[in-house]
C-alpha cells in the first residue's frame, strides 16, 4: 500500500496528522481478555471466504431489533405462533424490496450540501424528505411523528451498538433505515385507519400497504423516470468508444484504489471515488452528489425498475464495468444539461479524454513537450 495515496485520500490539504510510533512489537504479558473465540477470517481452497454481501439482511433478527412490540397482541391471543409468522413475513418483504429501498436510501441521503465523506449516513431532515416525497406524510401522520420514529430508531440500544463512534449517533445506517420503514408502516397505519382496525391487522400487511401506496406508487417511479433517460446513451458509437478506451478506464479506476492487490478484482468505494471526481472538476461543478447517487444506481443495476433492483454491497463500491457505465451516464447527464448540439458520441469521447488526462493515465504530449 502506498502511504502517500492513503494520506492524500483521507486528509485534505492543511489538515493535521498525529503519528504514534514505538520501538517495535512488545510481547503480551497478560491474557487478552475479551479476545475472539474464533478466527476472524475463514479460509477455503480458493483463499479467504468472504461473507455474502446480503448476509447482514439474512441474519437480521427482527425480534432482537424490538419489532416484536409492533406485532398485534390481539392476533397473538388468537394464535400463539402469529408473532413468529408475522415477523417472518415482514422479513420476507424487506428482502423483496431491499434493492429498491437501498436505492431510495442512497438517493435521499445524498440530498443537500452534505460532504461526500458522510455518505452512508442519513440524517433526520433527509428521512423526513423521503417520507414527504413518498406521500407517507398525511394530515394525520404528521412530519413530527416521522421525526419521532427517526429519533426512536437512531437512539435505540441496538443501533448505538452498531455505531463505532458518537458522530453517527443521530444518523441512520442502512439497517436503521430498514427498521424505521417498518416503524413508519406501523404508526402510519394506526393514524390512518384508527387504533381498533390497526390492532387486528398484521404488521406485514401494514408494511405491504406502505410499500404499495408510497414507495411503489411514488418513490420508485421517480427513480425509474430518471434512469430511463440513460437509455439514449447506449448507441453503436458509444459502445465502440467505451471498448476503445477500456484499458484506460480500468487504469483510471485502479489509480483511485487505496490498496492494490493484483489477485483481487479492482473495486473502489463510492466515497473515495468522490474525492477523485472532485479533483477532476466534475463533482460539485458539473453535477451534485445526489446526481452522482442516481448515476451510481443506474451503473450498478441491470433494470430500471426499482422493484427489480438487487441489493448491492454496502458501503457501495464499483468495479471496472460499473465504473465504465458510471462515466457513460455522467457524460450523458452533462450533455443534456449543457444542451450540446454536437453528437453525443463526440461529447463522450471528449469527456473520457479529460478524465483520463486528469487521472494521469493518459499523457498530454503537448504539455510533456513543453516541460522538456
Please report the pLDDT score of residue 27 as a whole number: 64
305: helix, strand or coil: coil
Q: Among 325, 345, 323, 334, which Cα is nearest to 286's?
A: 334
What is the arithmetic mean of pLDDT over 95-120? 92
- Give yes or no for a contact between 183 and 71, defined as CB atoms under 8 angstroms apart: no
What is the arithmetic mean of pLDDT over 308-313? 96
| Higher local confidence (pLDDT), 170 or 134 | 134
Please report the pLDDT score of residue 113 as a whole number: 73
Please report the pLDDT score of residue 160 as a whole number: 87
Please report the pLDDT score of residue 294 as a whole number: 94
Please report the pLDDT score of residue 5 as a whole number: 66
pLDDT at 14 over 80: no
pLDDT at 7 over 90: no
Average pLDDT, the chain: 89
Report the C-alpha gap between 45 and 93 in whole angstroms: 35
Share of the chain above pLDDT 70, in %: 87
Whole-number Cα distances in Å, 148 to 141, 143, 163: 11, 9, 20
Q: Which grid coordinates belong to 200?
A: 387486528
pLDDT at 367 over 70: no
pLDDT at 117 over 90: no
Please report the pLDDT score of residue 254 as a whole number: 92
Report the C-alpha gap between 191 and 140 in whole angstroms: 6
Measured on CA atoms in the order 233, 235, 237, 243, is the torsion positive or negative? positive
- Give yes or no for a contact between 171 and 123, defined as CB atoms under 8 angstroms apart: yes
pLDDT at 84 over 80: yes
Q: State the virtual CA torsion across 218, 221, 222, 225 in degrees, nearest 10.
A: -160
Query: pLDDT class for 164, splitting at 50, 70, 90?
Result: low
In sequence order, the β-bridge partners of residue 317 are 269
Report the range of poorest mean pLDDT among 163-172, 194-203, 260-269.
163-172
Please report the pLDDT score of residue 4 as a whole number: 66
Q: Is 286 exposed, middle or buried (0-12, 13-18, 19+ CB in 10 A)?
A: middle
Helix and strand totals (H; E) in the chain: 19, 4
The domain locations on the chain are 56-224, 229-371
- Give yes or no for a contact between 255 and 297, defined as CB atoms under 8 angstroms apart: no
Please report the pLDDT score of residue 50 as a whole number: 74
What is the arithmetic mean of pLDDT over 75-95? 97
CA 342 to chain centre: 34
Please report the pLDDT score of residue 365 as a whole number: 59
Please report the pLDDT score of residue 17 as a whole number: 82
- Give yes or no for a contact between 219 and 134, defined as CB atoms under 8 angstroms apart: yes
Report the range of poorest mean pLDDT among 8-17, 55-64, 115-124, 262-271.
8-17
Please report the pLDDT score of residue 195 as a whole number: 79
pLDDT at 30 over 70: no
Please report the pLDDT score of residue 258 as a whole number: 75
Report the range of poorest mean pLDDT among 57-61, 110-114, 303-307.
110-114
Q: What share of the chain is helix, strand, coil (3-state, %, to 5)?
A: 60, 5, 35
| Higher local confidence (pLDDT), 8 or 122 | 122
Residue 62's contacts (CB-CB under 8 Å, 6 or more residues apart) are: 68, 87, 90, 91, 182
Report the C-alpha gap between 28 and 35 in whole angstroms: 13
Whole-number Cα distances in Å, 272 to 5, 9, 276, 322: 11, 7, 7, 15
Helix extents (H) in 229-343: 236-244, 246-255, 270-279, 289-300, 320-337
pLDDT at 74 over 80: yes
pLDDT at 139 over 70: yes
pLDDT at 66 over 90: yes
Q: Among 196, 231, 227, 6, which Cα is nearest to 104's?
A: 227
What is the arithmetic mean of pLDDT over 52-61? 93
Q: Which grid coordinates belong to 293?
A: 447517487
pLDDT at 201 over 70: yes
The 10s digit of each residue's pLDDT in 223-248 is 999 999 999 999 999 999 999 999 99
Q: Which grid coordinates belong to 15?
A: 489538515
Please report the pLDDT score of residue 49 as a whole number: 72
Task: List, as one string, the DSSP characters of 184-239.
Answer: HHHHHHHHHH-HHHHTTS-HHHHHHHHIIIIIIIIIHHHHHHHHHGGGGG--HHHH
pLDDT at 169 over 70: no
Amino acid at each position: 500500500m502506498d502511504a502517500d495515496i492513503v494520506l492524500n485520500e483521507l486528509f485534505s490539504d492543511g489538515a493535521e496528522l498525529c503519528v504514534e510510533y514505538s520501538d517495535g512489537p512488545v510481547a503480551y504479558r497478560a491474557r487478552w481478555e475479551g479476545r475472539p473465540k474464533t478466527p476472524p477470517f475463514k479460509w477455503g481452497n480458493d483463499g479467504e471466504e468472504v461473507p455474502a454481501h446480503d448476509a447482514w439482511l439474512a441474519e437480521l433478527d427482527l425480534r432482537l431489533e424490538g419489532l416484536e412490540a409492533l406485532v398485534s397482541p390481539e392476533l397473538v391471543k388468537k394464535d400463539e405462533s402469529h408473532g413468529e409468522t408475522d415477523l417472518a413475513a415482514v422479513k420476507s418483504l424487506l428482502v423483496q424490496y431491499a434493492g429498491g429501498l437501498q436505492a431510495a436510501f442512497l438517493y435521499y441521503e445524498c440530498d443537500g450540501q452534505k460532504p461526500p465523506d458522510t455518505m452512508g449516513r442519513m440524517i433526520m431532515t433527509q428521512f423526513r424528505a423521503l417520507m414527504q416525497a413518498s406521500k407517507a406524510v398525511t394530515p394525520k401522520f404528521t412530519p413530527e411523528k416521522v421525526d419521532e420514529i427517526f429519533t426512536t430508531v437512531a437512539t435505540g440500544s441496538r443501533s448505538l451498538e452498531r455505531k463505532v463512534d458518537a458522530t453517527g449517533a443521530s444518523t441512520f445506517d442502512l439497517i436503521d433505515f430498514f427498521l424505521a420503514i417498518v416503524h413508519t408502516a406501523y404508526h402510519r397505519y394506526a393514524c390512518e385507519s384508527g387504533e381498533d382496525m390497526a390492532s387486528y391487522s398484521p404488521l406485514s400487511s401494514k408494511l405491504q400497504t406502505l410499500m404499495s401506496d408510497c414507495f411503489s406508487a411514488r418513490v420508485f417511479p421517480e427513480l425509474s423516470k430518471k434512469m430511463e433517460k440513460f437509455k439514449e446513451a447506449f448507441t453503436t458509437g458509444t459502445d465502440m468508444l467505451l471498448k476503445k478506451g477500456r484499458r484506460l478506464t480500468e487504469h483510471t479506476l485502479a489509480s483511485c484504489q487505496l490498496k492494490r492487490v493484483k489477485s483481487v478484482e479492482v473495486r473502489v468505494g463510492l466515497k473515495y471515488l468522490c474525492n477523485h471526481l472532485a479533483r477532476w472538476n466534475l463533482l460539485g461543478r458539473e453535477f451534485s452528489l445526489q446526481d452522482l447517487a442516481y448515476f451510481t444506481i443506474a451503473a450498478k443495476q441491470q433494470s430500471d425498475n426499482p422493484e427489480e433492483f438487487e441489493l448491492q454491497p454496502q458501503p457501495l463500491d464499483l468495479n471496472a464495468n460499473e465504473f465504465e457505465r458510471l462515466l457513460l451516464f455522467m457524460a450523458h447527464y452533462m450533455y443534456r444539461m449543457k444542451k450540446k448540439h454536437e453528437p453525443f458520441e463526440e461529447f463522450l469521447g471528449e469527456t473520457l479524454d479529460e478524465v483520463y488526462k486528469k487521472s494521469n493515465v493518459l499523457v498530454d504530449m503537448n504539455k510533456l513537450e513543453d516541460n522538456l
